[in-house]
Structure formats: C-alpha cells, structure tokens
Amino acid sequence: MNNTRSQTLILHTCCAPCLIGSKPVIETTDMNLDITCFWYNPNIHPQSEYKARRNALIDYTSKNNIKLIVQDYYGLVEFAKNVIDNLENRCEYCYETRLKETAKYASEHGFDMFSTTLLVSPYQNHEKLKETGEKYASEFNVKFFYADFRVNFRQGQKNARENSVYMQKYCGCIFSEERRKKDKIENK
C-alpha cells in the first residue's frame, strides 16, 4: 500500500483542446498528481472567443470530472496597453501575466506546483515559457512543473475534434487573429 501523499498541481489552462493534449503526458509521470485546472486568460479576444473557450473548458472539465477554478477576467484594455508598443513580443507579456497569476494562486492556496497547457503547443516559445515559469516559481516559492507536452499535440487536437470540443482558429489575442486572417487571404 502506497501512503505517499498526492502532490497538488494547478494547471493554467488556455483551452480544452490543449488540456486534452497535456493530460496524457502529465498522467504518465512518476508523480502522484492531483490536478486542478486554472482558467486565467485575459489575452483572448474578442469577448465572444473568450467566452467560447471558457465555456468549452467548463463543459469539458465538468463532463470529465476534472477540477476547475475560473478566474474570469476579460482584459482587452490592459492587454492592449501592455503590448501596443512591442507587438512582436506580445507573447512574452501573455506568458508573464498568466504564469505569474497561476504561480501566485498556487502559492496563496497551498498547491505544491503549477504548470501550463501552453506547453502542448509547438507554436509557443518553450524556452521562454520554462524561463518564465521558473522565475515565478522562485518568486512565489512554489515548484514549476515543466514537461514537453508537444508530443501529444496532434493527438489532443484529434481527440478534441472527435469529441466535438470547441476548437479555436488562432492563439488568442486580437493580433494573432489578425495575422491568421491576413495569412489566410495571402495564401489564397
């Protein structure tokens, strides 16, 4: 009989498809993890997209008996003010904002560690995510759980489609939406 206490992990969750892709990697670690998802994504725009992703995550976690904390904050004005002068580095602002809030929540609520589903995307800067996670782990005295979740990205996307989970078409911010639309027009 194993009396080892579960370690608690709060998982910043950007969307249900990325959660679907991340979970298998987390669950195959040697650790006995008790996972709670954490919705905090003030970068996602427009508001209809923000709500669609949030509601899809709420629905998915509810149906799959996964704990979820929703910190509901739609922050278009604050996001725009902080990235407008440096649009090429806007992703770093998003990493900083979301991981800082997750680490802070983890520390204040007694979680052993934190991580993010952003690590499932091959389109994200993993080194910057890891660096940012470790920075806030140190600041808030809580461990950052890093694993390369990208190995399950395609399977996570496939599983989301098969289960009719809402799938977004761009990363999240209004500028990534603009880039997607511009690329679509240019590639016609």
Q: Could you read off the pLDDT of 83-109 as tens digits, one per residue?
A: 888 878 888 989 999 999 999 999 999
Instruction: Provide the CA 182 distance to its chain's centre, in angstroms.
Output: 25
Amino acid making up residue 113: M
Could you report the per-residue pLDDT of 94-153, keeping only the tens digit for each?
Answer: 999 999 999 999 999 999 999 999 999 999 999 999 999 999 999 999 999 999 999 989
Whole-angstrom distance, CA of residue 171 vs CA of residue 2: 41
| Secondary structure letter of residue 124 according to DSSP | S
Whole-angstrom distance, CA of residue 66 vs CA of residue 71: 16
User: 116 phi and psi, to 5 degrees?
Assistant: -150, 140
Whole-angstrom distance, CA of residue 123 vs CA of residue 139: 27
Model confidence, pTM? 0.90
